[in-house]
Amino acid sequence: MKISHKLLLVTFLILGACKEEVKKVENKTETPKNIPSNVVKDIQVPIFDGNAAYNYVKKQVEFGPRVPNSAGHKKCGDFLVNEFAKVGLSVIEQKAILTAFDGTKLNARNIIASLNPDAEKRILLMAHWDTRPFADQDSKDRTKPILGANDGASGVAVLLEVANILVKDSLKIGIDIILFDAEDYGQPEGTMVSPKPDTYCLGSQYWAKNKHKANYKAEFGILLDMVGAKDAVFTKEGTSVYYAPQIVNKVWDIARYKGYEKYFSYQQTNPITDDHFYVNEIAKIPSIDIIHYDASTPSHFGKYWHTHNDNLEAVDAQTLQIVGQVLLEVIYREN
């Protein structure tokens, strides 16, 4: 994923803001108001197991880099399909040959697992399961693929454990978990004279144009990306706020109500292009991104981002537990 210059331009045109005013978004922090009554509800919500999620991260990393066309990618994809199927979810593999920025043909597959597939009211949960084919933000071995323990595996791990929990209850609503492929095969910045648009998030672009079910709809979507770093901070990311402010507020208010405001900051930060952008823009499903924001790095994505340091040491079970618990709290309040 990357900073969304496209959405910054849209914001500029709509608001009539100058470039400096758009940048000021990063310094905007809301003063939390009273938590809405629909959030403060005494309901029974299962406890999310952060250690179980961490083990799912570990399992994915053991396959090595999950770059499309690689053996690790094939083996991990089979593992993910099997994990969803064995707990009783309906699984669809959406396979496609996608063209990367450099012309490489990618044998990609989006993995869609559904609970209560016939339920009319649905919630969409998302992550990407592929990894970066090169460590372009590293100082060494920049042409080699990364393990992607946080950037990819962390979000997938949380959704795997969420699936394990949900199938044990008699939920009325439908849940669709989509693991997008080919998210991180985007063009490295500065590598070509003419940068190409939309080279990231190839799997979500394909799904948004070719949904797994005709006329598929969901109440809203939540994307998890880089949700495992120790003491991670999740801000109100600009693309999410632009397309689905009500969902952002719902999730952040629930996190605050549960006492997780240290992790879920009310600071609003610049928009990025991630899978949720295309789900919003093309599929027209209001969706948000829960993604780590690091103010200390130029990318704001964490020091491990697109480097070989994105290994198991970049992931913390407690952070996974908090994100997973917030996700469960959201789901059970919609049931």
Specify the DSSP element, H or E, that contains 175: strand 174-180
Does 258 or 40 have the greater pLDDT score? 258
- Domains in the chain: boundaries: 2-334
What is the average pLDDT score of the chain?
Answer: 90
- pLDDT category, 43, cuts 50, 70, 90? confident
Report the C-alpha gap between 37 and 262 in whole angstroms. Answer: 22
3-state secondary structure 260-312: CCCCEEEEEECCEECHHHHHHHCCCCCEEEEEECCCCCCCCCCCCCCCCCCCH
pTM given for the model: 0.91
Report the C-alpha gap between 238 and 2 in whole angstroms. Answer: 12
Q: Provide the pLDDT for residue 17.
A: 33
The answer to whether 203 and 98 have CB atoms below 8 angstroms apart is: yes
Question: What number does CATH give the domain 2-334?
Answer: 3.40.630.10
The tens digit of pLDDT for each residue in 315-335 reads 999 999 999 999 999 999 999
Q: Provide the pLDDT for residue 24.
A: 39
Cα distances (angstroms) measured from residue 117 to each of 15, 44, 64, 166: 40, 23, 32, 13
The tens digit of pLDDT for each residue in 106-142 reads 999 999 999 999 999 999 999 999 999 999 999 999 9
Number of Cβ within 10 Å of residue 74's Cβ equals 15
Residue 8, CB half-sphere, CA atoms under 13 Å: how many? Answer: 18
The two three-digit tokens of residue 21, written as one number: 């005013």
The tens digit of pLDDT for each residue in 175-229 reads 999 999 999 999 987 665 578 899 999 999 999 999 999 999 999 999 999 999 9
The tens digit of pLDDT for each residue in 110-120 reads 999 999 999 99
Closest CA to 7 of 289, 221, 308: 289
The answer to whether 125 and 143 have CB atoms below 8 angstroms apart is: no
**Which contacts qualify for 332-335: CB closer than 8 Å, 24 or more apart?**
332/43, 332/44, 332/45, 333/38, 333/39, 333/41, 333/43, 333/254, 334/121, 334/123, 334/173, 334/219, 335/171, 335/172, 335/173
User: Percentage of the chain with pLDDT > 70?
Assistant: 87
